[in-house]
């Protein structure tokens, strides 16, 4: 990749060690003569990344999710440095960032373009999600009946606590906790996983990348809550809620040696091995 000349920083000052690490990385970039700016402001101001070469996000996965829309709109790669818990998206540890930052700024990285979902909840009301779109009743304890269509074909209807529509990136988030599958980030599909369905069978459904999904609320006296990436709630003005794969993709900077399944094994302590005798 081309060397980075203009670098923006987004720092979650609430994460332990994030401000201190930011000062170290900013000092490295300044010694290399880069043009810099930084913010700890959330939500990120629209247009903050316009015209910049890359953005270093220091925090947790939630911090990076809060920058994803702006990054996708402006096609500015994100460098995620983890100061949170799991770090599926912020894949550089603090030590890796310190040791590798100079080479990274010289262009020693690859771009992984991640699928995003576009969700519409009414005329002119649209938003993007990197991980998932959640549909549920506004009242947490109430079941909801949701009818799902894929390209005008009825899939089925669910009586459940809600439905999760996940990207491959989001497959290791809420989707996984609800029993959904792990998808490779380049799979180019959408996973639909019911939450606590009122049925003896509970299976996720995988849709192709260019599917157009429509979800109707068939519950009486019920209003839907539509949440994106667990951070933003969209107003629902009318049926149906529409979900599709967005044209914009998130450019995520990774080391050339990045391995998705190595991250999954490490972060989830996942192994396919069989335990030996006690």
Q: What is the sign of the dihedral through the CA atoms of 233, 46, 118 and 131?
A: negative
Which residues are registered as beta bridge partners of 122?
125
**Six token digits for residue 135:** 């549909």
Long-range contacts of 66-70 (CB under 8 A, 24+ apart): 66/42, 66/231, 67/10, 68/116, 68/128, 68/130, 68/229, 68/250, 69/127, 69/128, 70/44, 70/46
Which residues are registered as beta bridge partners of 253?
111
Alpha carbons 243 and 121: distance in angstroms, whole number: 9
Nearest Cα neighbor of 124 from 257, 237, 273, 253 is: 237
| Residues labelled as active-site residues | 61
**Six token digits for residue 268:** 């989830």
Nearest Cα neighbor of 50 from 8, 5, 86 is: 8
Give the strand order in the sheet containing 250-254.
35-39, 6-11, 54-59, 78-82, 250-254, 110-114
């Amino acid at each position: 990749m081309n060397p980075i000349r203009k670098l923006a920083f987004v720092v979650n000052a609430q994460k332990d060690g994030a401000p201190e690490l930011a000062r170290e990385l900013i000092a490295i970039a300044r010694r290399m003569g880069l043009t810099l700016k930084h913010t700890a402001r959330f939500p990120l101001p629209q247009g903050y990344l316009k015209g910049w070469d890359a953005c270093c996000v220091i925090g947790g996965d939630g911090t990076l999710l809060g920058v994803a829309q702006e990054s996708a709109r402006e096609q500015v790669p994100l460098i995620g440095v983890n100061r949170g818990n799991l770090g599926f998206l912020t894949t550089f540890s603090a030590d890796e960032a310190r040791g590798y930052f100079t080479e990274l700024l010289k262009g020693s990285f690859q771009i992984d373009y991640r699928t995003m979902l576009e969700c519409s909840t009414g005329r002119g009301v649209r938003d993007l999600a990197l991980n998932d779109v959640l549909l549920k009743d506004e009242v947490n304890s109430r079941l909801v009946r949701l009818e799902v269509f894929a390209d005008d074909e009825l899939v089925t209807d669910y009586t459940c606590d809600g439905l999760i529509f996940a990207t491959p990136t989001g497959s290791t988030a809420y989707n996984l906790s609800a029993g959904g599958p792990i998808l490779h980030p380049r799979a180019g599909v959408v996973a639909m996983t019911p939450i606590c369905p009122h049925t003896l069978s509970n299976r996720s459904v995988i849709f192709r990348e260019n599917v157009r999904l429509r979800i109707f609320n068939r519950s009486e006296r019920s209003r839907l809550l539509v949440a994106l990436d667990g951070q933003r709630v969209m107003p629902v003005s009318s049926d149906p809620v529409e979900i599709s794969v967005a044209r914009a993709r998130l450019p995520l900077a990774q080391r050339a040696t990045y391995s998705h399944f190595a991250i999954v094994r490490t972060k989830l302590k996942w192994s396919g091995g069989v335990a030996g005798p006690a």
